[in-house]
Amino acid sequence: MNKTALITGASSGLGKEFALIHASKGDNLVLVARSKEKLDTLKLELEKQFGISVYVIGKDLSDQYAPKAIFEELKVQKIQIDYLVNNAGFGDFGLFAECNWDKQLEMINLNVTALTYLTRLFLPEMIGNKFGKILNVASTAAFQPGPTMSVYFATKAFVLSFSEAIANELKGTGVTVTALCPGATETGFKDAAALNDSNLFKGNQIATSKEVAEFGYNKMMQGKTVAVHGFVNNLMAESVRFAPRNFVTSLAKMKLKTK
């Protein structure tokens, strides 16, 4: 019997790549994103290419009521979720004192609240079935504070901490949780966060969405709790644990600098 993966932020970037990978493995899909039109197009492509079933839901997950609505809709449709990929998220660049508060709140709701609520909604059934895999997309940003992207870095620190904690709680249940921590990746993220000219992206070899998604999928299937993509990113993630906090924060600010 085919398993089913729910993937958020599935219309482009990492989310679309996760959908392609799961479809290639024969998994049915539930795809969630704001743009239902893009999802409908992707649904037709995947069903034709892989012969699977794809159910699409057009929802803005920054809406606090969206996770429960998705959960209830799938109950009505009698669709059981075996894999939950919490991929949806975005960042914003600028000084916190000058930021657009509504955008910061939307970011917190999407990056933190929706991810946490979806996990809470689908987790009990996974435990009851003695099988389930959850992939939460964090970031290498999770390992240090990020001046000029303070809220984004803080949301990803939450995702990492939350994922590690519940992964420990779930030992022996048949359910695993993986926090995927990519570094700079070729997605729509840098455009949305206004980071095209930052030191983070300029002159660096950037991972593709496909590379990161394949890495994340493999680590999720292995039940790995924390998955940092790339040797240099792993090195940086480990080294910040031993460096002075002020130095780590200043280094992060330098990497995000645009001029």
Residue-range definition of the domain harbouring residue 181? 4-256
Query: In Å, how far from its chain's centre is CA 130?
Result: 24
The pTM of the full predicted model, rounded to 2 decimals, is 0.87
pLDDT tens for residues 78-89? 999 999 999 999
Residues of the chain with pLDDT under 70: 188-204, 239-259
Determine which one of 55, 65, 83, 152 is catalytic. Answer: 152
Radius of gyration of the chain measured on its C-alpha atoms? 18
Total domain count, the chain: 1
Is residue 152 among the annotated active site residues? yes
Given this model, what pLDDT does residue 231 score? 79
Are residues 156 and 193 in contact, defined by beta-carbon separation less than 8 angstroms?
no
Given this model, what pLDDT does residue 201 score? 43
pLDDT tens for residues 87-140? 999 999 999 999 999 999 999 999 999 999 999 999 999 999 999 999 999 999
Given this model, what pLDDT does residue 232 score? 82
**Residue 40 belongs to domain with CATH number:** 3.40.50.720
Among 214, 206, 203, residue whose Cα is nearest residue 185: 206
